[in-house]
Amino acid sequence: MNIDYKQLANKYQTPYYVYDFDYITSQYNELKTAFKARKSLLAYAVKANSNLSVIKHLADLGAGADCVSIGEVKRALKVGVQPYKIIFSGVGKIDSEIKEALELGILMINVESSAELDRVETIAKELGKVARISIRVNPNIDPQTHPYISTGLHENKFGVDIDTAKRMYIQCKNSENLDPTGIHLHIGSQLTQLEPIKESVKIVADLVRNLEALKIDLSFFDVGGGLGIVYDDEKLIDTNEYAQSILECLFGLDITVVCEPGRFLVGNSGVFVSKVLYEKINGEKRFVIVDGAMNDLIRPSLYNAYHKIEVLNDNKEFSDCNLVGPVCESGDFFAKNIELPKTEHNDLVAIYSAGAYCFTMASNYNTRGKVAEIAIENGQDRLIRKRETFEDIIALEEEYLK
């Protein structure tokens, strides 16, 4: 990625996010090709980066969308994702979302509890529709990732156990308003070990075979997302081995593979750029204060996540410091005890691997407007979300002032 951060800072001010769309294309193509031995659908996990232009870029490449709210479903539809490529997941869908999803005719609703299946059945009946159902199975496998982004154990809130899933498929088969269409699993995010994925897919594939014996034939096998990326020096799962081991587990089944990558597609396309405001020393401790903050990029504060950081100056005089933002919280930091060069006012600081779960987790805390987002494609930059103004932030409150 060869991006002139300084020129972008002059043009769009700081802080900003910039995403390399050509990188997203090559990630998409790499994974799609890995699955070429079978019919497959890559349903982009919109939560990773839901900017309309990002979703559209992936939709134009042929991607579907994995959505966790009706808002995400509508984003996907708006930019041309075909309804038959949209999946609606999540443990707590509300009635109005289920109703809308049924009316929009998306590919399938990923159901995560018996109670939810009953709700979907009731709502489908009221609408005189047949709901295409996929059930999220929790294989009770430890994905060996950060506990906050681990989802495949019974102690996590996601999915249902095998026996419950079986009962739910039988309910679907016996219902006029439910169509058992797919099966789903997702054991966690930022996965770097293949073994837990293989084991989980095998468990769920066995269930599919059991269901076939009951004359319940599913069309889609959704392996979820979770492929890890390099933030630091992680050793990654090879995409060909990943696809190959999934396809091996599905041997003999006439089923389309669905995969829901988020981070893998967009994580390393993005860089968050802010500029240095001040340096200060408190006692012994050096702080570098930048104009970006935890409200813009919360992963270090929330998960203690590592993001590679560089000060874009030529200074060779490095020393230990904390890189922090202006928000009034001690938890507002991008890195603690990091070696950074001496900085001047307005030096730029790049925080890498910021394409996934960064802008989408941003907030207006401290009445800070969400920052600008920029795309780079074929060497050309363009704004894909303008910086929020003060007026934007207060717009929904102002009219209620007494």
Give me the active site residues, please. 328
What tokens appear for 125 in the block? Answer: 């009946």
Count of helix runs (H) and strand runs (E) in the chain: 12, 17
Which of these ranges, 22-30, 182-190, 329-337, 379-387, lies near ligand LLP under the rule CB under 6 A?
Answer: 182-190
Q: Where does 237-312 have alpha helices with state H?
A: 239-249, 263-266, 299-303
Closest-CA residue to 242 (of 186, 182, 189, 192): 192
Which of these ranges, 5-13, 193-201, 218-226, 313-321, lies near ligand LLP under the rule CB under 6 A?
Answer: 218-226
Rounded least distance, CB 119 to ligand LLP, Å: 19
User: Does the footprint of ligand LLP cover residue 99 (CB under 6 A)?
Assistant: no
263 or 385: CB nearest ligand LLP: 263
User: What is the three-class DSSP state of 325?
Assistant: coil
The position carrying tokens 């930019």 is 79
User: What is the three-class DSSP state of 98?
Assistant: helix
CB 178 within 8 A of CB 121: yes
CA distance 162 to 168: 10
User: Does the footprint of ligand LLP cover residue 116 (CB under 6 A)?
Assistant: no
User: Does the footprint of ligand LLP cover residue 263 (CB under 6 A)?
Assistant: yes
User: Does the footprint of ligand LLP cover residue 270 (CB under 6 A)?
Assistant: no
User: Does the footprint of ligand LLP cover residue 355 (CB under 6 A)?
Assistant: no
- The secondary structure of residue 387, as a DSSP letter, is P
Rounded least distance, CB 224 to ligand LLP, Å: 5
Rounded least distance, CB 335 to ligand LLP, Å: 16
User: What is the three-class DSSP state of 184?
Assistant: strand
User: Does the footprint of ligand LLP cover residue 32 (CB under 6 A)?
Assistant: no
CA distance 16 to 374: 7
User: Does the footprint of ligand LLP cover residue 264 (CB under 6 A)?
Assistant: yes
What tokens appear for 349 in the block? Answer: 């600081």
Distances (CA, A) of 350 to 10, 82, 266, 292, 311: 15, 36, 17, 10, 6
Using CB under 6 A as the binding rule, the residues of this chain from 299 to 318 that contact ligand LLP are 299
Rounded least distance, CB 110 to ligand LLP, Å: 7
Residue 121 contacts by C-beta under 8 Å, 6 or more apart in sequence? 131, 171, 175, 177, 178
Rounded least distance, CB 342 to ligand LLP, Å: 31
Could you say which of 21, 333, 357, 359 contacts ligand LLP (CB under 6 A)?
357
Q: At what angle do helices 239-249 and 194-213 cross, to 10 degrees?
A: 20
Which regions of 63-149 does DSSP assign to beta strands (E)?
64-67, 86-88, 108-111, 131-136
93 or 299: CB nearest ligand LLP: 299
User: Does the footprint of ligand LLP cover residue 93 (CB under 6 A)?
Assistant: no
Using CB under 6 A as the binding rule, the residues of this chain from 241 to 260 that contact ligand LLP are 260
Rounded least distance, CB 227 to ligand LLP, Å: 6
What tokens appear for 130 in the block? Answer: 């047949």
Rounded least distance, CB 167 to ligand LLP, Å: 22
User: Does the footprint of ligand LLP cover residue 225 (CB under 6 A)?
Assistant: yes
Could you say which of 139, 159, 196, 224 contacts ligand LLP (CB under 6 A)?
224
162 or 277: CB nearest ligand LLP: 162
Contact positions vs ligand LLP (CB under 6 A): 45, 48, 66, 89, 149, 186, 189-190, 224-227, 260-264, 299, 356-357
